[in-house]
Amino acid sequence: MTQGNSDYRDSGLVFPPGFTFGSATASYQVEGAASEDGRLPSIWDTFSKTPGKVWNGDTGDVACDHYHRWESDLDLMKDLGLGAYRFSIAWPRVIPTGTGEINQAGIDFYSRLVDGLLERGIEPVATLYHWDLPQPLEDAGGWPARATADAFERYAEVMGTALGDRVHTWTTLNEPWCSAYLGYGQGGHAPGRHEPDAALAAVHHLNLAHGRALQALRATSTGTPEYSVTLNFHVLRGVGDGAAEAMRRIDALANRAFTGPMLHGEYPADLLEDTASVTDWSFVHDDDLAAIHQPIDVLGVNYYSTATVRLWDGVSPKQMNDGHKGAAGGTAWPGSDQAVEFVEQPGPHTAMGWNIAPEGLEELLMALSAEFPQQPLMVTENGAAFDDVVAADGSVPDPERLDYLRRHFSAAHRAMQRGVDLRGYFVWSLLDNFEWGYGYAKRFGIVRVDFDSLERTIKDSGRWYSELARSGVLPE
């Protein structure tokens, strides 16, 4: 697949002028201040407070306290020389019940954040939905209910009006795959439901929410923002008899269920067939596909590892995993004797158990650029969790994360040399933060957060990334 240069460690590679080097976070993972200034609970507040759902009973109540420390966090980004910050807006902070009154204090927070970024010369890349659905919307049915897409459209209008004069890039959704399948199918993410038909209805209403939000943002933004969505693509490997069939099915469920309607204007026929025993897709109304199929300026790509699948003969599929996604995770599908199983992958692995496969990033970028030749791409998340150890002098040497990043930047660079129109790259994450079902046990930051003192320390990988961001040249 990748000939020569498969080692991906080449220092000295030069990224083109204007290439965006950023870092990413998400509201529930970093903000804290969960019940301050009018914010009401989201599904993640409820889920994390349900015993047994999150490691150690951790919650996002305090997280990195970014809500109060945003100014020094922005200073840190500036010191690192980052060109862009991908953050998400907490819907329950700005429209606390999801459909009711607008909370000006919530809007003001994001308005100050955006101004603070612009003052420091950092582009604001704002995601509307990174999984913190207002709890009352879940109580009314959540994403499987069409009304949630209606509520999202209004939320987009409110945010477009409030920030659309200054935001550099709008992103509608982050990883709708996780929201739909982990939230409503596999249940490892909030709201923790196990209803395959609801998961597919959620897929559609998330797609609809995306398309409607794009229209609302375009209608209300008075600046010249770019528009995008971020998807977590499954880069698949197959094993055993029927490997190709297993890969086809998961490609349909995990990748084409989103790119189909968003970028081609239709659901793939094989997806509808594969899932016919679960749903008749009657939740797709006449004009929905036209509403979903909106142009975007840039397609956001999240990539961490590959996934290996095989056909599994049994009564029910062996359920994936550990409550998250990635190497050991995926989308097993009930309703058939022949299910798809996700197979453990050869190492090396990160602390998440995800295999390290930079060639998968090159392959993914090449495949997307072949399928959507006119579509500029942006890596909106890539990074790694490792068990960092603080040195005696207080520094945080994290050679494995640094090496992971170097190899993946190198893979992205190679894809660009092969013709991919890649505009930028966001490292996940700026800070160690609340890693969903894993609580604070998994550290993805290029900046360490001490969760007792909340003190921030730039890790070696952060210093390395800073050099890359400042020079545009891959450092040693």
Residues that bind ligand GCO (CB under 6 A): 26, 29, 174-175, 178, 232, 302, 381, 428, 435, 444
Under a CB-based contact definition with an 8 Å cutoff, are residues 298 and 226 in contact? yes
Could you tell me the smallest distance in angstroms from the CB atom of residue 322 to ligand GCO? 11
The two structure tokens encoding residue 29:
């993972």
Q: ∠ CA 93-140-58 to the nearest 5 degrees?
A: 50
Residue type, 307: A
Could you tell me the smallest distance in angstroms from the CB atom of residue 404 to ligand GCO? 13
Please choose, from the candidates 179, 159, 157, the residue with its C-alpha nearest in 3D space to the C-alpha of residue 167.
Answer: 159
Query: Which of 138, 341, 381, 435 is flagged as catalytic?
Result: 381
* DSSP summary character for residue 414: H
Could you tell me the smallest distance in angstroms from the CB atom of residue 90 to ligand GCO? 13
Q: Which is nearer to ligand GCO, 182 or 284 (CB)?
A: 182
Under a CB-based contact definition with an 8 Å cutoff, are residues 335 and 196 in contact? yes
How many Å apart are CA 204 and CA 212, to the nearest integer?
A: 12
Q: Which is nearer to ligand GCO, 189 or 414 (CB)?
A: 189
Active site includes 245?
no
Bridge-partner residues for 340, per DSSP? 311
How many Å apart are CA 153 and CA 141, to the nearest integer?
A: 17
Please choose, from the candidates 106, 110, 71, 104, the residue with its C-alpha nearest in 3D space to the C-alpha of residue 87.
Answer: 110
The two structure tokens encoding residue 167:
């935001």
Query: Which of 123, 153, 175, 435 is flagged as catalytic?
Result: 175
Could you tell me the smallest distance in angstroms from the CB atom of residue 435 to ligand GCO? 5
Q: Which is nearer to ligand GCO, 300 or 317 (CB)?
A: 300
Q: Evaluate the omega torsion of the peptide bond into residue 429 and state whether it is cis, within 30 degrees of 0.
A: yes
Could you tell me the smallest distance in angstroms from the CB atom of residue 302 to ligand GCO? 5
How many Å apart are CA 265 and CA 267, to the nearest integer?
A: 7
Q: Which is nearer to ligand GCO, 381 or 388 (CB)?
A: 381
Cα-trace Rg, the chain? 21
Under a CB-based contact definition with an 8 Å cutoff, are residues 327 and 306 in contact? yes
Q: Which is nearer to ligand GCO, 23 or 232 (CB)?
A: 232
Q: Which is nearer to ligand GCO, 132 or 274 (CB)?
A: 132
Could you tell me the smallest distance in angstroms from the CB atom of residue 324 to ligand GCO? 6
How many Å apart are CA 230 and CA 175, to the nearest integer?
A: 6
First to last CA, the chain: 26
How many Å apart are CA 247 and CA 309, to the nearest integer?
A: 6
The two structure tokens encoding residue 288:
């929905």
Helix (H/G/I), strand (E/B), else coil: 7: coil
Q: Which is nearer to ligand GCO, 409 or 444 (CB)?
A: 444
Q: Which is nearer to ligand GCO, 132 or 138 (CB)?
A: 132
**Buried/exposed 109-125: b ≥16 CB within 10 Å, e otherwise:** bbeebbebbeeeebbbb
Could you tell me the smallest distance in angstroms from the CB atom of residue 428 to ligand GCO? 5
Could you tell me the smallest distance in angstroms from the CB atom of residue 126 to ligand GCO? 14
Q: Which is nearer to ligand GCO, 189 or 310 (CB)?
A: 189
Under a CB-based contact definition with an 8 Å cutoff, are residues 397 and 364 in contact? no
* DSSP summary character for residue 472: S
The two structure tokens encoding residue 238:
């197959």
Helices and strands, counts by H and E, the chain: 16, 13
Could you tell me the smallest distance in angstroms from the CB atom of residue 318 to ligand GCO? 22
In the bound state, the residue with its beta carbon closest to ligand GCO is 26
Please choose, from the candidates 393, 394, 358, the residue with its C-alpha nearest in 3D space to the C-alpha of residue 474.
Answer: 358
How many Å apart are CA 440 and CA 437, to the nearest integer?
A: 9
Active site includes 363?
no
The two structure tokens encoding residue 393:
């002098």
The residues annotated with a catalytic role in the active site are 175, 381
